[in-house]
Amino acid sequence: MSTPLIWFVFMNLSILLKPGHCTETGDQVLSITPQTQEQVDILRNVSTHYETVLWQPVSNEYISTQVQAHLYVPANSSVTVKAILQKHGITHKVLLANPNELTKMQMKNDSTDPRSSSTFYERYHTLEEIYDWINRTAQDNPRTVKVILIGSSYEKRPLYVLKLSFNDRPNRKAMWIDCGIHAREWISPAFCMWFVHHSLSFYQQNSEITRILDSMDVYVLPVMNPDGYKYTWTTIKRRWWRKNRSISKSGFCVGVDLNRNFDVDWGIKGSSQNPCEEINCGPFPESEPETQAVANFLRRHKDTVQLYITIHSYSQMLIFPYSYTFDQAENHNDLTHVLAVLTTGRTNLASNTPLRLSSRTVGNTASCYHLLTYPGPATKRCSRSRPLLSRFWRKHKLRQTITRSKQFCDCY
């Protein structure tokens, strides 16, 4: 049986959606680099108080010396947080000013018929707009696009998959792309929408797109976490919500990290069974209806789905298995060859072409993350796993691609 090959794509929000000018408000994202263990402990404490939100790493247990942490600080806590950092000599700088003002701008959509706007695919959209786009895309392309309902969310919102199929040959292979597993990563659903539009628009015009779509079907799940995504659009304060919206038995905390809820080495290092944590993996494997729906669909199609791509944000990295060990995956050489082609743009490279790139941005996950520094892709985590088969991967437009195979977990 072939080694599964699965890709993660992490995207930089500033690349696709460029905000305009905005005014100073006081809420900021700080880049903080602790130098000592004492400073690490202080930063961990700060990150759990004052209404702050830790953007990097995903959990405060992974804050370490000499490594940048990114912390969202609301305006009403800015003076207090900065005073604590200054008191303890912790270096910091403003990484992003006015994130809330940027969010307000990102929520605007001035088009009466959004799909008629030339900037439609350069904007973020509400869940309702995405659902409408799904239905209209299928209606406008009845021969090539089919809407599949694979399940529903905790709050009973539909999980719609778009199937793009340009050929009726039996036993066609397929790729799967999902977006929006983490609610606050708005660029992810935006990419899935752009990908579908771009594929439909340039089929028979672009040779690479045509070759891909002629050879395989494509399943696209634009929003895997509709409840969480909907929640992030309700108020500015809720913009940074990450998990789904299931209620824990204790009733005190809400949400499970769907990416850590799959049934592969569930609940071990890199996750938390505390329902209040961002990396909460749930009460048991596949406890969440969103996770169940995706896993069951892929199990039913395991003989045809050859490639898994999942879209995330807040990094630009090229990484692949494993994260729990420095051991290389059995198809490690194939993966590095693909990355060599990806990063150089040359398709005629020999299979042993060396990669001369930063180990922080390219390589297997354990190397990129210095082994368990962050909860990263691959196995031995509260992880997201699909037993998929694959012999190839085709790049599309973006170059911020992360690959993993067999069993895997998310970095964020």
Q: What pLDDT shows up at residue 116? A: 56
Measured CA to CA in angstroms, residue 289 lies from 158, 252, 368 at distances of 11, 20, 32
Q: What pLDDT shows up at residue 312? A: 86
Instruction: Kindly state the tokens that stand for 322.
Output: 């494993």
Instruction: Give the integer Cα–Cα distance in Å for 124 and 128.
Output: 12
Instruction: Give the integer Cα–Cα distance in Å for 343 and 371.
Output: 24
Q: What pLDDT shows up at residue 105? A: 87
Q: What helix, strand, coil percent values describe the chain, rounded to 5?
A: 30, 20, 50
- Which residues sit opposite 404 in a β-bridge? 6
Q: What pLDDT shows up at residue 21? A: 45
Instruction: Give the integer Cα–Cα distance in Å for 222 and 202.
Output: 20
- Per residue in 59-112, pLDDT tens? 888 899 999 999 999 999 999 999 999 999 999 999 999 898 888 888 886 655
Q: What pLDDT shows up at residue 325? A: 59
Tally: H helices and E strands in the chain: 11, 15
DSSP for 204-252, please give it. TTSHHHHHHHHHEEEEEES-S-HHHHHHHTT-GGGTT--S--PBPTTSS
Contact 389, 306 (CB under 8 A): yes
User: What mean pLDDT value characterizes the chain?
Assistant: 78
Instruction: Give the integer Cα–Cα distance in Å for 230 and 145.
Output: 25
DSSP for 259-326, please give it. GG-SSSSTTSTT-B--TTSTTB--SSTT-SHHHHHHHHHHHHTTTTEEEEEEEEES---EEES-SS-S
Q: What pLDDT shows up at residue 382? A: 29
Residues in the chain: 412
- Would strands 401-404 and 407-408 be described as parallel, antiparallel, or unpaired? unpaired
One-letter identity of residue 17: L
Below-70 pLDDT ranges, the chain: 1-25, 109-118, 316-319, 321-325, 342-412
**Which class for 18: exposed (0-12), middle (13-18), buried (19 or more C-beta within 10 A)?**
exposed
Our measurement of the distance from residue 209's CA atom to the centroid of its chain's CA atoms, rounded to an integer in Å, reads 23
Residue 8: its H or E element: strand 6-11
Measured CA to CA in angstroms, residue 406 lies from 95, 193, 295, 391 at distances of 36, 27, 14, 13
DSSP for 50-79, please give it. TT-EEEESSSGGG--TTS-EEEEE-GGGHH
Q: Which domains occur in the chain, in start order? A: 6-15+109-229+287-408 (3.40.630.10), 26-97 (3.30.70.340)
Instruction: Give the integer Cα–Cα distance in Å for 320 and 369.
Output: 11
Cα Rg, the chain, nearest whole Å: 21
Among residues 361, 299, 315, 312, the alpha carbon closest in space to that of 177 is found at 312
Angle, alpha carbons 271-274-278 (nearest 5°): 60
Instruction: Give the integer Cα–Cα distance in Å for 111 and 211.
Output: 34
Instruction: Give the integer Cα–Cα distance in Å for 14 and 19.
Output: 8
Instruction: Kindly state the tokens that stand for 395.
Output: 């790049």
Instruction: Give the integer Cα–Cα distance in Å for 402 and 339.
Output: 9
Contact 105, 22 (CB under 8 A): yes
Instruction: Kindly state the tokens that stand for 111.
Output: 């088009």
